[in-house]
Amino acid sequence: MTRLLFFCLVLMSSMLSTIRVSYALMDTAKITVLVVDESGNPVEGAEVGVGFGENSQRKERPVDGFTKSDGRFSASETCNSFVGFRVKKSGYYMSSGQYIFDYEKKGFFRWEPWNPEITVVLRKIENPVPMYARDTRESPIEIPVLGKDIGFDLIAFDWVKPYGRGSHSDFMFNMKVMDNGGNDFEYQLSVKFTNKFDGIQAYEETSTNMSMLLLPKNAPLSGYKKELGVFLKGVKRGAGYSWKNNRNYIVRVRSEVENGKLKKAMYGKILSDISLAHPSKKGGFPTIQFKYYLNPDYTRNLEFDPKRNLFLNLPDREQVRIK
């Protein structure tokens, strides 16, 4: 082999290596989306949109189509390891999710595993009802006084008298604050319930293929706790309450008793975790933030109709979606 030929081969190898590095994030990927209903039966004719990621700005190469009789739809394109998808069909809540290929598991110019099958569940729309639904993360609730149980009315969206115009203590909040400035602080919030059968229970959503209807369609009859603790601590006081985006709650309030048993109650849900934040103004108290839905018809139905929010004329930032 002459020196010139050797030099050319080395140069070509270097160029190919450079091209390979430049386009390493854009190898071909293929996935199959299997769409089933809540009973596990395949759903035919569901519209599937798959987006293959192009760059860090989340630009995607779209591939769209419909599921066949076996509930499957396959799509292939070059991508940077990220694939997003959404599935919808009339009469069902839309579902969406993502799949990320492992950088360490790549074949020759293609992502591995090749053609993974991802199961997506479509949940049937049954009986959406009007609810009092509001995102208080966009209008934080500031507790009026520290170290005292104070009732909060979810329908009036206000504290009970004498701190507000509310008349029912759906939640009883009690806030304690230790604040020495900087990172040396600790906020403690207890959420309590006064009526015999009122309470709260956590519900964690672990699926990465999310339905627009995240929680159960009907609230459970049991499993409610009378108190919940929420904490926020500064660095000097160590780790505080572990806030989780996938932790949600189902609540029961305004319960009525007959012959010692539950007669009826209102049920609702809180999307994402309850959180605390620093005072919104100087000299104020920490704020309480959560997104809630309350069904006032005394059934356990948790399906919300976003077109019939009982809070009228809410600003856009406080509006909520189905979930």
**Which whole-number Å values give the CA distances from 77 to 43, 53, 209, in the listed order?**
24, 9, 21
pLDDT of residue 230: 87
Domain boundary among the residues 124, 153, 178 is at 124
Q: Could you give the number of structural domains in the chain? A: 2
Q: Is residue 202 part of a domain?
A: yes
The residue that leads in pLDDT, 77 or 58, is 77
Q: Is 145 helix (H, G, I), strand (E, B) or coil?
A: coil
| The pairing of beta strand 123-124 with beta strand 92-93 | antiparallel
Summarize pLDDT for 64-112 with one digit per residue, the tens: 999 999 999 999 999 989 999 999 999 999 999 999 998 767 777 899 9
The residue that leads in pLDDT, 73 or 142, is 73
* pLDDT over 50 (residue 8): no
**CATH number of the domain encompassing residue 80:** 2.60.130.10
Residues 144 and 292 in one domain: yes
Domain boundary among the residues 124, 149, 177 is at 124
pLDDT of residue 58: 67
Host domain of residue 103? 24-124
Does the pTM surpass 0.85? The reply is no
Write the single-letter amino acid at 145.
V
Angle subtended at Cα 113 by Cα 28 and Cα 82, rounded to the nearest 5 degrees: 55
Q: Is residue 5 part of a domain?
A: no
* pLDDT over 60 (residue 242): no
Domain boundary among the residues 70, 93, 124 is at 124
CA torsion 43-44-45-47 (nearest 10°) is: 40
Residues 116 and 138 in one domain: no
Q: Is residue 7 part of a domain?
A: no
